[in-house]
Amino acid sequence: MFDLKGRVAIVTGGNGGIGLGMAKGLAVAGASVVVAARNSDKSRAAVDAINQVGAGRARAIEVDVADEASVNGLIDETVKSCGRLDVLVNNAGINIRKPPDQLTLAEWREVLDTNLTSAYLCSHAAYPAMKKAGGGKIINIGSMMSIFGASFTPAYAASKGGIVQFTRSCACAWAKDHIQVNAVLPGWIDTELTVRARQQVEGLHENVLRRTPAARWGVPDDFRGIAVFLASPASDFVTGTAIPVDGGYSIQG
Residue 211 in the binding site for ligand NDP (CB under 6 A): no
Residue 42 in the binding site for ligand NDP (CB under 6 A): yes
Burial of 134 (0-12, 13-18, 19+ CB in 10 A): exposed
| Closest of 86, 122, 108 to residue 12, by C-alpha | 122
| Closest of 159, 13, 136 to residue 74, by C-alpha | 13
What is the nearest approach in angstroms of ligand NDP to the Cβ of residue 5? 26
Q: Interface with ligand NDP by CB under 6 A: which range of 87-95, 98-106, 131-139, 168-176?
A: 87-95
Residue 158 in the binding site for ligand NDP (CB under 6 A): no
Written as one letter, the residue type at 74 is L
What is the nearest approach in angstroms of ligand NDP to the Cβ of residue 139? 11
Q: Interface with ligand NDP by CB under 6 A: which range of 11-19, 25-33, 81-89, 237-245?
A: 11-19
Residue 39 in the binding site for ligand NDP (CB under 6 A): yes
| Closest of 98, 145, 97 to residue 249, by C-alpha | 145
Q: Interface with ligand NDP by CB under 6 A: which range of 50-58, 100-108, 184-192, 227-235?
A: 184-192
- In sequence order, which residues have a C-beta less than 8 Å from that of residue 195 and are 6 or more positions away? none
| Closest of 17, 19, 20, 22 to residue 4, by C-alpha | 22
Phi, psi of 179 (to 5 degrees): -110, 120
The residue (of 133 and 166) whose beta carbon lies closer to ligand NDP is: 166
Does 156 qualify as catalytic in the annotation? yes
Where along the sequence are the contacts to ligand NDP (CB under 6 A)?
A: 12-13, 15-19, 37-39, 42, 63-66, 91-94, 114-115, 141, 143, 186, 188-189, 191-194
